[in-house]
A and B are shown apart, each in its own frame.
Chain A
Amino acid sequence: MIEIKNITKTYNTGEMDFQALKGVSFTIKEGEFVAIMGPSGSGKSTLMNIVGALDTPSSGQYLLDGKDVSSLSESELAKIRKEKIGFVFQSFNLLKRTTVIRNVALPLLYTGMPKDQRLVRAKEALASSGFEEDHYYHLSNQLSGGQMQRVAIARALVNNPSLILADEPTGNLDTKTGEKVLETFTRLNDKGHTIVLITHEYDVAMHANRIITIRDGLIEKDENIKH
Chain B
Amino acid sequence: MNWIDLFEEIYWSLSANKVRSFLTILGIVIGIGSVIAMVAIGQGAKDNIQASIQSVGSNLIIITPGAQRGVGSQISSGRGSAQTLTQADADAIKSSVAFIQSIAPELSRRYQVTSRGKNTNTQIIGTVPEYPDVRKVEVTDGSFITSKHLSSNDKVAVIGPQARDDLFGIDAMAVGQSIRINNIEFKIIGVTKAKGGSGFSNPDSNIFIPITTAQRYLAGDTYVSTISVEAQDQESMAAVQQDITNLLLQRHKISNPQAPDFSVLNQADIVASASSITNTFTILLASIAGISLLVGGIGIMNMMLTTVTERTREIGLRKAIGADRKDISSQFLLEAITLTFSGGVFGIILGWILSLVVAKFAGINTQISLSSVLLAFGVSALIGVIFGYYPASRAAKLNPIDALRYE
Contact = CB atoms under 8 A, between A and B. Distances in A.
Interface string A75-108: 1001101110001010001011110001000110
B394 interface: no
A75 to B, nearest CB: 4
Contacts of A78: 319, 322-324
B1 A79 contact: no
A27 interface: no
A111 interface: yes
B12 A110 contact: no
A76 to B, nearest CB: 9
B243 interface: no
Interface stretch (A14-22, A49-57, A58-66, A180-188): A49-57
Contacts of B316: 93
Contacts of B401: 49, 54-55
A48 B322 CA distance: 16
B322 A110 contact: yes
Contact of A89 (B2, B16, B326, B404): B404
B321 A82 contact: yes
Interface string B386-407: 0000000000000011001000
25 contacts: A52-B320, A54-B400, A75-B324, A78-B323, A79-B324, A81-B320, A81-B321, A82-B322, A83-B322, A87-B321, A93-B316, A93-B404, A98-B12, A98-B16, A106-B321, A107-B321, A107-B322, A109-B1, A109-B5, A110-B318, A110-B322, A112-B2, A155-B321, A159-B321, A159-B322
Contacts of A82: 321-323
Nearest to B327: A110
Nearest to A45: B401
Contacts of B400: 54
A49 B400 CA distance: 10
Nearest to A94: B317
Contacts of A106: 318, 321
A11 to B, nearest CB: 11
A106 B315 CA distance: 12
Contacts of B2: 112
B97 to A, nearest CB: 77
Q: Which of B9, B16, B319, B321 has the most CB of A within 10 A?
A: B321
Given A78-B323, A78-B324, A81-B321, A97 B404 contact: no
A93 B324 contact: no
B138 interface: no
B149 interface: no
A110 B404 CA distance: 18
A54 B323 CA distance: 12
Interface of A: 49, 52, 54-55, 74-75, 78-79, 81-83, 87, 89, 93, 95-98, 102, 106-107, 109-112, 115, 155, 159
A98 B17 CA distance: 12
Contacts of A96: 16
The number of chain B residues touching the other chain, given as a range, is 20 to 34
Interface string B300-321: 0000000000000110111111
Contacts of A74: 324-325
Interface in B332-362: none
B404 A109 contact: no
Q: Report, nearest first, the 10 A-B pairs whose CB atoms are least far apart.
A: A82-B322, A107-B321, A78-B324, A75-B324, A93-B317, A97-B16, A110-B322, A81-B322, A110-B323, A54-B401
Nearest to A92: B317
Given A82-B323, A93-B314, A109-B1, 14 more contacts: A49-B401, A74-B325, A75-B324, A78-B324, A79-B322, A82-B321, A89-B317, A93-B404, A95-B314, A97-B16, A98-B12, A98-B16, A110-B318, A110-B321
Contacts of A102: 12
A111 B5 CA distance: 11
A98 B15 CA distance: 11
Nearest to A111: B322
Nearest to A89: B404
Contacts of B9: 109
A115 B320 contact: no
A97 B12 CA distance: 9
A159 B245 CA distance: 88
Nearest to A87: B320
A6 B317 CA distance: 29
Interface in B276-300: none
Contacts of B12: 98, 102
B328 to A, nearest CB: 10
Most A CB contacts (10 A, CB to CB) among B9, B319, B320, B326 go to B320
Contacts of B5: 109, 115
Contacts of B1: 109-110, 112
A111 B322 CA distance: 8
Contacts of B404: 89, 93
B163 to A, nearest CB: 75
Contact of A54 (B314, B320, B325): B320
A83 B323 CA distance: 11
B344 to A, nearest CB: 27
Nearest to A52: B320
A97 B327 CA distance: 21
B334 to A, nearest CB: 14
